Amino acid sequence: MELPEVEVMRRDLEKEVVGKKVRDVEVRPHRNAMRVIRRHSRRKEFADRLSGRKFTKIDRKGKYLLLYLDGGDVLVVHFGMSGQLLRGTKRQTLPQHTHVVIDFQQGGDLRFIDPRTFGEMFVTAVDQLGKIRELDHIAIDPLEDTFTWQEFSGELARRATKLKPLLMDQKFVSGVGNIYSDEVLFAAGLRYDRMSDSLSSQEVRRLYRAMREVLQDAVRFRGTTLDDDAYVDVFGKSGDFAAELKVYGRKGLACRRCRTPIDTVKISGRTSYFCPQCQS
DNA sequence: GTTTAACCCTGCACGC
DNA sequence: TGCGTGCAGGGTTAAA
Protein backbone atom coordinates (compact mmCIF):
# COMPACT_ATOMS: atom_id res chain seq x y z
CA MET A 1 0.00 0.00 0.00
CA GLU A 2 1.42 3.32 -1.11
CA LEU A 3 0.52 6.98 -0.69
CA PRO A 4 -2.79 6.98 -2.63
CA GLU A 5 -4.20 3.97 -0.80
CA VAL A 6 -3.15 5.30 2.60
CA GLU A 7 -4.63 8.69 1.73
CA VAL A 8 -7.96 7.10 0.74
CA MET A 9 -7.87 5.22 4.03
CA ARG A 10 -7.19 8.46 5.89
CA ARG A 11 -10.14 10.24 4.31
CA ASP A 12 -12.46 7.32 5.01
CA LEU A 13 -11.36 7.08 8.63
CA GLU A 14 -11.81 10.79 9.10
CA LYS A 15 -15.50 10.31 8.37
CA GLU A 16 -15.78 6.91 9.98
CA VAL A 17 -13.94 7.02 13.31
CA VAL A 18 -13.26 10.63 14.28
CA GLY A 19 -15.48 11.44 17.25
CA LYS A 20 -15.93 7.78 18.13
CA LYS A 21 -14.96 6.41 21.51
CA VAL A 22 -13.13 3.13 21.97
CA ARG A 23 -15.03 0.71 24.17
CA ASP A 24 -12.42 -2.01 24.21
CA VAL A 25 -9.60 -3.47 22.19
CA GLU A 26 -8.83 -7.09 21.50
CA VAL A 27 -5.38 -8.17 20.43
CA ARG A 28 -6.02 -11.64 19.05
CA PRO A 29 -4.40 -14.63 20.79
CA HIS A 30 -2.19 -15.95 17.99
CA ARG A 31 1.53 -15.26 17.80
CA ASN A 32 1.43 -12.96 14.76
CA ALA A 33 -0.86 -10.53 16.56
CA MET A 34 2.07 -9.82 18.88
CA ARG A 35 4.24 -9.32 15.82
CA VAL A 36 1.85 -6.64 14.63
CA ILE A 37 2.06 -4.77 17.93
CA ARG A 38 5.75 -5.66 18.20
CA ARG A 39 6.71 -2.39 19.86
CA HIS A 40 4.56 -3.28 22.85
CA SER A 41 5.59 -5.99 25.24
CA ARG A 42 2.08 -7.04 26.24
CA ARG A 43 -1.40 -7.04 24.75
CA LYS A 44 -2.96 -5.34 27.74
CA GLU A 45 -0.64 -2.37 27.67
CA PHE A 46 -1.55 -1.68 24.04
CA ALA A 47 -5.28 -2.15 24.67
CA ASP A 48 -5.35 -0.01 27.82
CA ARG A 49 -3.87 3.00 26.06
CA LEU A 50 -6.74 2.98 23.56
CA SER A 51 -9.68 1.98 25.71
CA GLY A 52 -11.96 4.82 26.75
CA ARG A 53 -10.27 7.23 24.34
CA LYS A 54 -11.88 9.16 21.52
CA PHE A 55 -10.34 9.61 18.06
CA THR A 56 -9.88 13.29 17.32
CA LYS A 57 -7.97 13.56 14.03
CA ILE A 58 -6.41 11.37 11.31
CA ASP A 59 -3.13 12.38 9.69
CA ARG A 60 -0.88 10.71 7.17
CA LYS A 61 2.88 10.81 7.09
CA GLY A 62 4.14 9.03 3.99
CA LYS A 63 2.69 5.54 4.17
CA TYR A 64 1.98 5.86 7.89
CA LEU A 65 -1.42 6.71 9.34
CA LEU A 66 -1.61 8.68 12.57
CA LEU A 67 -4.85 8.35 14.50
CA TYR A 68 -4.87 10.95 17.26
CA LEU A 69 -6.68 10.28 20.51
CA ASP A 70 -7.85 12.63 23.22
CA GLY A 71 -5.49 12.45 26.15
CA GLY A 72 -2.28 12.98 24.18
CA ASP A 73 -1.66 9.59 22.59
CA VAL A 74 -1.62 8.63 18.94
CA LEU A 75 -2.22 5.27 17.28
CA VAL A 76 0.29 4.76 14.48
CA VAL A 77 -0.54 2.31 11.70
CA HIS A 78 1.69 1.06 8.93
CA PHE A 79 0.21 -1.33 6.39
CA GLY A 80 3.34 -2.98 5.08
CA MET A 81 2.25 -4.76 1.96
CA SER A 82 -0.81 -6.71 3.07
CA GLY A 83 -2.23 -4.70 5.98
CA GLN A 84 -5.88 -3.60 5.98
CA LEU A 85 -8.19 -1.66 8.24
CA LEU A 86 -11.79 -2.74 7.85
CA ARG A 87 -15.01 -1.56 9.41
CA GLY A 88 -17.08 -4.37 10.86
CA THR A 89 -19.77 -5.31 13.30
CA LYS A 90 -19.90 -7.89 16.07
CA ARG A 91 -22.08 -10.13 13.95
CA GLN A 92 -19.53 -10.38 11.16
CA THR A 93 -17.01 -13.14 11.71
CA LEU A 94 -13.40 -12.00 11.85
CA PRO A 95 -11.46 -12.66 8.66
CA GLN A 96 -8.38 -14.82 8.86
CA HIS A 97 -5.26 -12.94 9.95
CA THR A 98 -7.22 -10.42 11.98
CA HIS A 99 -4.78 -9.23 14.64
CA VAL A 100 -6.49 -6.33 16.39
CA VAL A 101 -10.16 -5.41 16.85
CA ILE A 102 -11.05 -1.93 18.10
CA ASP A 103 -14.62 -1.89 19.38
CA PHE A 104 -16.54 1.41 19.44
CA GLN A 105 -18.95 2.61 22.10
CA GLN A 106 -21.21 3.91 19.32
CA GLY A 107 -21.36 0.41 17.79
CA GLY A 108 -19.29 -1.30 15.14
CA ASP A 109 -15.58 -1.98 15.18
CA LEU A 110 -12.38 -1.50 13.24
CA ARG A 111 -10.23 -4.51 12.39
CA PHE A 112 -6.57 -4.69 11.48
CA ILE A 113 -5.92 -7.61 9.14
CA ASP A 114 -2.50 -8.50 7.80
CA PRO A 115 -1.53 -11.94 6.43
CA ARG A 116 2.16 -11.18 5.94
CA THR A 117 2.59 -9.12 9.09
CA PHE A 118 4.92 -6.60 7.53
CA GLY A 119 2.50 -4.02 8.84
CA GLU A 120 2.34 -2.82 12.41
CA MET A 121 0.39 -0.78 14.94
CA PHE A 122 1.57 0.99 18.02
CA VAL A 123 0.46 3.67 20.45
CA THR A 124 2.77 6.43 21.57
CA ALA A 125 2.52 9.86 23.16
CA VAL A 126 2.24 12.65 20.60
CA ASP A 127 5.32 14.36 22.05
CA GLN A 128 7.30 11.14 21.57
CA LEU A 129 6.54 10.87 17.84
CA GLY A 130 9.76 12.66 16.97
CA LYS A 131 11.73 9.87 18.58
CA ILE A 132 10.36 7.22 16.22
CA ARG A 133 13.14 6.97 13.67
CA GLU A 134 11.00 5.51 10.87
CA LEU A 135 8.66 8.49 11.11
CA ASP A 136 11.23 11.11 11.80
CA HIS A 137 13.24 10.65 8.64
CA ILE A 138 10.23 10.69 6.31
CA ALA A 139 10.73 13.25 3.56
CA ILE A 140 8.31 15.77 2.12
CA ASP A 141 4.94 14.61 0.85
CA PRO A 142 4.75 15.06 -2.94
CA LEU A 143 1.12 16.20 -2.72
CA GLU A 144 1.91 19.02 -0.29
CA ASP A 145 1.96 22.59 -1.60
CA THR A 146 5.40 22.98 -0.06
CA PHE A 147 6.72 20.39 -2.49
CA THR A 148 8.03 22.73 -5.19
CA TRP A 149 9.81 21.76 -8.34
CA GLN A 150 12.75 24.03 -7.49
CA GLU A 151 13.36 22.19 -4.26
CA PHE A 152 12.83 18.85 -5.97
CA SER A 153 15.35 19.82 -8.62
CA GLY A 154 17.97 20.64 -5.99
CA GLU A 155 17.43 17.36 -4.17
CA LEU A 156 17.75 15.36 -7.41
CA ALA A 157 21.02 17.06 -8.27
CA ARG A 158 22.43 16.58 -4.80
CA ARG A 159 22.04 12.83 -5.08
CA ALA A 160 23.81 10.73 -7.64
CA THR A 161 21.70 7.64 -7.84
CA LYS A 162 19.31 5.79 -10.11
CA LEU A 163 15.82 7.29 -10.32
CA LYS A 164 13.79 4.20 -9.51
CA PRO A 165 15.29 3.41 -6.09
CA LEU A 166 15.49 7.12 -5.34
CA LEU A 167 11.75 7.65 -5.87
CA MET A 168 11.05 4.76 -3.52
CA ASP A 169 13.42 6.12 -0.87
CA GLN A 170 11.18 7.51 1.91
CA LYS A 171 13.98 9.86 2.93
CA PHE A 172 13.82 11.45 -0.52
CA VAL A 173 10.07 11.73 -1.13
CA SER A 174 7.46 9.98 0.95
CA GLY A 175 4.73 7.60 -0.03
CA VAL A 176 6.00 6.28 -3.35
CA GLY A 177 6.54 2.53 -3.65
CA ASN A 178 7.10 0.02 -6.41
CA ILE A 179 3.87 0.48 -8.36
CA TYR A 180 3.73 4.27 -8.46
CA SER A 181 7.45 4.78 -9.06
CA ASP A 182 7.08 2.77 -12.28
CA GLU A 183 3.98 4.72 -13.28
CA VAL A 184 5.60 8.06 -12.50
CA LEU A 185 8.72 7.21 -14.50
CA PHE A 186 6.62 6.13 -17.46
CA ALA A 187 4.55 9.30 -17.31
CA ALA A 188 7.77 11.32 -17.21
CA GLY A 189 9.31 9.33 -20.09
CA LEU A 190 12.36 8.49 -17.97
CA ARG A 191 14.10 5.16 -17.49
CA TYR A 192 14.46 3.50 -14.09
CA ASP A 193 18.26 3.71 -14.29
CA ARG A 194 18.67 7.35 -15.24
CA MET A 195 20.99 9.06 -12.78
CA SER A 196 19.25 11.72 -10.72
CA ASP A 197 21.99 14.28 -11.34
CA SER A 198 21.88 13.83 -15.11
CA LEU A 199 18.41 15.28 -15.75
CA SER A 200 17.87 18.39 -17.83
CA SER A 201 15.62 21.00 -16.26
CA GLN A 202 12.92 19.99 -18.71
CA GLU A 203 13.20 16.39 -17.52
CA VAL A 204 13.05 17.48 -13.89
CA ARG A 205 9.84 19.36 -14.64
CA ARG A 206 8.38 16.30 -16.39
CA LEU A 207 9.23 14.11 -13.42
CA TYR A 208 7.80 16.60 -10.96
CA ARG A 209 4.56 16.97 -12.88
CA ALA A 210 4.27 13.20 -13.43
CA MET A 211 4.68 12.52 -9.72
CA ARG A 212 1.89 14.87 -8.76
CA GLU A 213 -0.47 13.84 -11.53
CA VAL A 214 -0.08 10.10 -11.10
CA LEU A 215 -0.54 10.24 -7.33
CA GLN A 216 -3.49 12.63 -7.51
CA ASP A 217 -5.19 10.51 -10.16
CA ALA A 218 -4.63 7.37 -8.10
CA VAL A 219 -6.28 9.02 -5.09
CA ARG A 220 -9.17 10.12 -7.29
CA PHE A 221 -9.61 6.52 -8.45
CA ARG A 222 -9.41 5.39 -4.83
CA GLY A 223 -6.16 3.44 -5.18
CA THR A 224 -4.88 0.37 -6.96
CA THR A 225 -6.39 -3.04 -6.30
CA LEU A 226 -4.40 -5.78 -8.03
CA ASP A 227 -5.66 -9.33 -8.49
CA ASP A 228 -3.09 -10.96 -6.27
CA ASP A 229 -2.89 -8.59 -3.33
CA ALA A 230 -6.31 -7.17 -2.74
CA TYR A 231 -6.15 -3.67 -1.37
CA VAL A 232 -9.60 -2.54 -0.24
CA ASP A 233 -10.78 0.58 1.53
CA VAL A 234 -12.26 0.79 5.03
CA PHE A 235 -15.59 -0.45 3.68
CA GLY A 236 -14.06 -3.39 1.81
CA LYS A 237 -14.34 -1.79 -1.61
CA SER A 238 -11.65 -2.09 -4.29
CA GLY A 239 -9.89 0.88 -5.86
CA ASP A 240 -10.23 1.53 -9.59
CA PHE A 241 -6.74 2.68 -10.53
CA ALA A 242 -5.52 -0.79 -11.65
CA ALA A 243 -7.32 -0.25 -14.96
CA GLU A 244 -5.41 3.01 -15.40
CA LEU A 245 -1.93 1.53 -14.90
CA LYS A 246 0.29 2.10 -17.93
CA VAL A 247 3.20 -0.22 -17.18
CA TYR A 248 3.02 -1.93 -13.78
CA GLY A 249 2.03 -5.58 -14.10
CA ARG A 250 1.88 -5.33 -17.91
CA LYS A 251 4.97 -7.35 -18.84
CA GLY A 252 4.84 -8.42 -22.48
CA LEU A 253 1.69 -6.41 -23.18
CA ALA A 254 1.73 -3.61 -25.73
CA CYS A 255 2.64 -0.17 -24.44
CA ARG A 256 -0.49 1.95 -24.42
CA ARG A 257 1.36 4.75 -26.14
CA CYS A 258 3.62 3.06 -28.72
CA ARG A 259 2.63 -0.65 -28.78
CA THR A 260 6.16 -1.83 -27.88
CA PRO A 261 5.98 -4.73 -25.39
CA ILE A 262 6.46 -3.65 -21.77
CA ASP A 263 9.65 -5.07 -20.29
CA THR A 264 10.80 -5.74 -16.73
CA VAL A 265 14.09 -5.51 -14.94
CA LYS A 266 15.18 -6.32 -11.42
CA ILE A 267 16.55 -3.30 -9.66
CA SER A 268 17.42 -3.04 -5.98
CA GLY A 269 15.50 -6.21 -5.31
CA ARG A 270 12.27 -4.97 -6.93
CA THR A 271 10.72 -5.72 -10.28
CA SER A 272 10.46 -2.60 -12.38
CA TYR A 273 8.15 -2.35 -15.40
CA PHE A 274 9.00 0.02 -18.21
CA CYS A 275 8.52 0.75 -21.89
CA PRO A 276 11.87 0.40 -23.71
CA GLN A 277 10.63 2.82 -26.41
CA CYS A 278 8.89 5.60 -24.44
CA GLN A 279 11.37 5.89 -21.58
CA SER A 280 14.95 7.05 -21.96
C1' DG B 1 27.78 8.25 -0.17
C1' DT B 2 25.74 4.51 -2.80
C1' DT B 3 24.45 -0.31 -3.48
C1' DT B 4 23.51 -4.88 -2.45
C1' DA B 5 21.58 -8.60 0.15
C1' DA B 6 19.30 -10.48 3.94
C1' DC B 7 15.50 -10.46 7.01
C1' DC B 8 10.64 -10.57 8.62
C1' DC B 9 5.88 -13.52 6.70
C1' DT B 10 2.14 -15.88 4.06
C1' DG B 11 -0.07 -17.04 -0.23
C1' DC B 12 0.26 -18.40 -4.60
C1' DA B 13 2.13 -20.18 -9.06
C1' DC B 14 4.93 -23.38 -10.81
C1' DG B 15 7.33 -27.86 -11.89
C1' DC B 16 7.99 -32.55 -10.89
C1' DT C 1 -2.81 -34.87 -5.37
C1' DG C 2 1.00 -33.15 -3.02
C1' DC C 3 5.17 -31.59 -2.16
C1' DG C 4 9.18 -28.31 -2.48
C1' DT C 5 10.83 -23.97 -4.44
C1' DG C 6 10.76 -19.32 -5.65
C1' DC C 7 8.76 -15.04 -5.74
C1' DA C 8 6.19 -10.93 -4.19
C1' DG C 9 6.68 -6.68 -1.23
C1' DG C 10 8.08 -2.07 2.74
C1' DG C 11 11.44 -0.80 5.34
C1' DT C 12 15.57 -1.37 8.17
C1' DT C 13 20.15 -2.87 8.80
C1' DA C 14 24.67 -4.60 8.04
C1' DA C 15 28.13 -5.24 4.91
C1' DA C 16 30.50 -4.33 0.54
pLDDT per residue of chain A (280 residues) written in tens, 0 to 9: 899 999 999 999 999 999 999 999 999 999 899 999 999 999 999 999 999 999 999 999 999 999 999 999 999 999 998 899 999 999 999 998 999 999 999 999 999 999 989 999 999 999 999 888 889 889 999 999 999 999 999 999 999 999 999 999 999 999 999 999 999 999 999 999 999 999 999 999 999 999 999 999 999 999 998 865 578 999 999 899 989 999 998 888 899 999 999 998 888 888 899 999 999 9
Domain with CATH 1.10.8.50 in chain A: 149-274
Decide: CB of A146 under 7 A of nucleic strand B.
no
Distance A168 CA to C12 C1' (A): 14
Decide: CB of A225 under 7 A of nucleic strand B.
no
Q: Which residue is nearest to nucleotide B12 (CA to C1')?
A: A228
Q: Which residue is nearest to nucleotide C10 (CA to C1')?
A: A80
Structure confidence at residue A251 (pLDDT): 87
Structure confidence at residue A66 (pLDDT): 94
Select from A62, A4, A3, A1 the least CA-distant residue to A221: A4
Please give the CATH topology (third level) of the domain spanning A149-274.
Helicase, Ruva Protein; domain 3 (1.10.8)
CATH code that applies to domain A3-136: 3.20.190.10
Structure confidence at residue A228 (pLDDT): 59
Structure confidence at residue A200 (pLDDT): 96
Decide: CB of A267 under 7 A of nucleic strand B.
yes
pTM of the model as a whole:
0.95
A20 within 8 A of A106, measured Cβ to Cβ:
yes
Q: Which of residues 47-86 of A touch strand C (CB under 7 A)?
A: 62-63, 78, 80-82
Q: In whole angstroms, give the CA distance from residue A23 to residue A188.
A: 48
Structure confidence at residue A229 (pLDDT): 59
Domain with CATH 3.20.190.10 in chain A: 3-136
A38 within 8 A of A253, measured Cβ to Cβ:
no
Per residue, the 3-state secondary structure of chain A, as one string, reads CCHHHHHHHHHHHHHHCCCCEEEEEEECCCHHHHHHCCCCCCHHHHHHHHCCCEEEEEEEECCEEEEEECCCEEEEEECCCCCEEEEECCCCCCCCCEEEEEEECCCCEEEEECCCCCCEEEEEEHHHHHHCHHHHCCCCCCCCCCCCHHHHHHHHHHCCCEHHHHHHCCCCCCCCCHHHHHHHHHHHCCCCCCEHHHCCHHHHHHHHHHHHHHHHHHHHCCCCCCCCCCCECCCCCECCHHHHCCCCCCECCECCCCCCEEEEEEECCEEEEECCCCCC
User: Which nucleotides of strand C are protein-proximal, with an atom < 7 A from a CB?
Assistant: 7-13
Strand partners, A87: A110
Structure confidence at residue A81 (pLDDT): 85
Per-residue burial over A25-53, b if 16 or more Cβ lie within 10 Å, else e, is: bbbbeeeebbebbeebeebeebbebbeeb
User: Which nucleotides of strand B are protein-proximal, with an atom < 7 A from a CB?
Assistant: 1-12
